[in-house]
Amino acid sequence: MLELLKLLQDGRFHSGEALGAKLGISRSAIWKQLQGLEAELGIEVFKVPGRGYRLSSPMTLLDAQEISHGADGLDWPITVESSVDSTNAEIFRRLDAGVRAPFVLLAERQTAGRGRRGRVWASPFAENLYCSVVLRVDGGMSQVEALSLTVGLAVAKALQSIGIDGARLKWPNDVLVEGRKISGILLELAGDPADVCHVVIGVGINVNMAIDVPAVIDQPWTSVRQCLGHMLDRNELAAKLLLQLRDCLSIHWQRGFAGLREEWEALHAWCGRSVALTAGNNATLGVVLGVDERGAIRLSVDGFDRSFSGGELSLRLQHDS
């Protein structure tokens, strides 16, 4: 079906005969694949007698070679899959199968996309970026301290590079535009936490998703398309994202998050806001002061400067802030 979709992605009419000739299959096989596009991937195909078939709107599929060309100088091998359950999960399977890090995996869709703390990540076909990068980490887990903040900064800088000046960072791993989520980050580790391990960096960015699409999103969200007023070639954004990841991670490995803290703070969305920091059923109320050199969130709590960090913490604005 993916080869058929590549022929249709220009949004023009193509006859069943012409499509069959190019793919070396019968017109009836073309018809079955078109039904599959609609049933399995949710892609609307117009069928007009005498003219043929076309998509309801043009699309640009991800292309590993095009992304590599746009990310000139990047030495991470890039693979694009049409569908996976989760790009992070697929990365782990490839590690188990002996594929050596570093490498990059992107998918046109995820059937079981995951966000932080087990949340569902909406992943419609060929609309957004679902990207995972795996890196080998020598020297133990201390190397990945505050890594989610570093990745968030890279995402924000990639979005700024395509014209979204309002991209801001919410601790610890969300990117917002005007208070609405445009990107999320999920970091997962495998291996010996005291020696050699792998970190899988999962990034989801809402790119061309329309405002009326997914009902599964339980918080205010936006997309690149909504911010810019037009659709974007996801290959361009993928290349810019990977370059920003490479550059920010290079600083992180050399100097730790301290080397990026000033840049991160300049984009801090909630500095000075009254928030509730929750861990399980416990909540701490305070005013956001910033982040420290280890990436912990700093709150003013009852007049005292306190720092908090941990994977199960959740930060929310107080209703009266």
CATH of the domain at 36: 1.10.10.10
* Domain stop point among 55, 73, 98: 55
Query: Does 110 count as an annotated binding residue?
Result: yes
On whether both 16 and 124 belong to a single domain, the answer is: no
**pLDDT tens across 77-113, in order?**
999 998 899 999 999 999 999 999 999 999 999 988 7
Q: Which domain holds residue 16?
A: 2-55
**pLDDT tens across 179-191, in order?**
999 999 999 998 8
- Residue in 153, 288, 168 with CA at minimum distance from that of residue 222: 168
On whether both 44 and 161 belong to a single domain, the answer is: no
When pLDDT is averaged across residues 59-82 and rounded to a whole number, the result is 94
What is the pLDDT confidence band of residue 321, given thresholds at 50, 70 and 90? very low
On whether both 262 and 242 belong to a single domain, the answer is: yes
- What pTM was computed for the model? 0.89
On whether both 132 and 249 belong to a single domain, the answer is: yes
On whether both 207 and 119 belong to a single domain, the answer is: yes
Residue 243 makes CB contacts below 8 A (sequence gap 6+) with: 71, 73, 74, 158
When pLDDT is averaged across residues 110-120 and rounded to a whole number, the result is 65
Query: Does 111 count as an annotated binding residue?
Result: no
* Domain stop point among 55, 79, 100: 55
On whether both 131 and 47 belong to a single domain, the answer is: no
User: Quick one: pLDDT at residue 320?
Assistant: 45
Q: How far, CA to CA in Å, does 144 sit from each of 196, 197, 200, 231, 241? A: 12, 10, 11, 34, 19
List, by residue number, the catalytic residues. Answer: 116, 181, 316
Query: Does 116 count as an annotated binding residue?
Result: yes
Query: Does 114 count as an annotated binding residue?
Result: yes
Q: CB–CB of 107/84 below 8 Å?
A: yes
On whether both 47 and 150 belong to a single domain, the answer is: no
User: Quick one: pLDDT at residue 218?
Assistant: 62
On whether both 176 and 200 belong to a single domain, the answer is: yes
- Residue in 173, 168, 171 with CA at minimum distance from that of residue 156: 168
User: Quick one: pLDDT at residue 211?
Assistant: 62
What total of structural domains would you count in the chain? 3
Terminal C-alpha separation, the chain:
50
CATH of the domain at 139: 3.30.930.10
On whether both 171 and 280 belong to a single domain, the answer is: no
- Residue in 178, 102, 187, 111 with CA at minimum distance from that of residue 144: 187
The mean pLDDT of the chain is: 89
On whether both 242 and 149 belong to a single domain, the answer is: yes
When pLDDT is averaged across residues 162-188 and rounded to a whole number, the result is 94
Query: Does 225 count as an annotated binding residue?
Result: no
Query: Does 282 count as an annotated binding residue?
Result: no
* Domain stop point among 224, 242, 266: 266
